[in-house]
């Protein structure tokens, strides 16, 4: 079984991801419900019907925008 590094910046809570991409806090939940095909298989997971964890790849696919944090890192 593959190990997941939870210290990685590749995994984000839904609200945190929405803020990073400049979206409203409900963006991820609404996007998954309304447009699930935008999300690659395995790019999000719902825990206890309350907390959604998403991957950067999923956010990039759903929004059509690259990770905004990469632009800040490249500028520094």
Sheet of strand 51-55, all strands in order from the earlier edge strand to the far edge: 11-13, 51-55, 44-47
CA torsion sign for 19, 24, 37, 41 is: positive
Domain annotation covers residue 20:
yes
* Cβ atoms of 3 and 43 closer than 8 Å: no
Q: Choose between 10 and 72: higher pLDDT.
A: 10
DSSP state of 35: -
Q: With bands split at pLDDT 50, 70 and 90, how would you rate the model's confidence at 52?
A: very high
Instruction: Tell me the sheet residues that pair with 47.
Output: 51
17 is a domain residue: yes
- Does residue 41 carry a pLDDT above 70? yes
Q: What is the pTM of this model?
A: 0.85
Residues spanned by the domain of 61:
11-65
Strands (E), 1-76: 11-13, 44-47, 51-55
Number of folded domains in the chain? 1
Residue 5 within a domain:
no
Predicted confidence (pLDDT) per residue in 4-37, tens digit:
777 888 999 999 999 999 999 999 999 999 999 9
Q: What is the mean pLDDT of the chain?
A: 91
């Amino acid at each position: 079984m593959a190990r997941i590094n939870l210290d990685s910046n590749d995994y984000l809570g839904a609200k945190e991801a929405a803020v990073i991409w400049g979206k409203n806090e409900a963006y991820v939940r609404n996007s998954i419900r309304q447009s699930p095909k935008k999300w690659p298989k395995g790019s999000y997971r719902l825990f206890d019907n309350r907390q959604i964890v998403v991957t950067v790849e999923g956010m990039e696919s759903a929004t059509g925008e690259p990770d905004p944090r990469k632009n800040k890192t490249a500028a520094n």
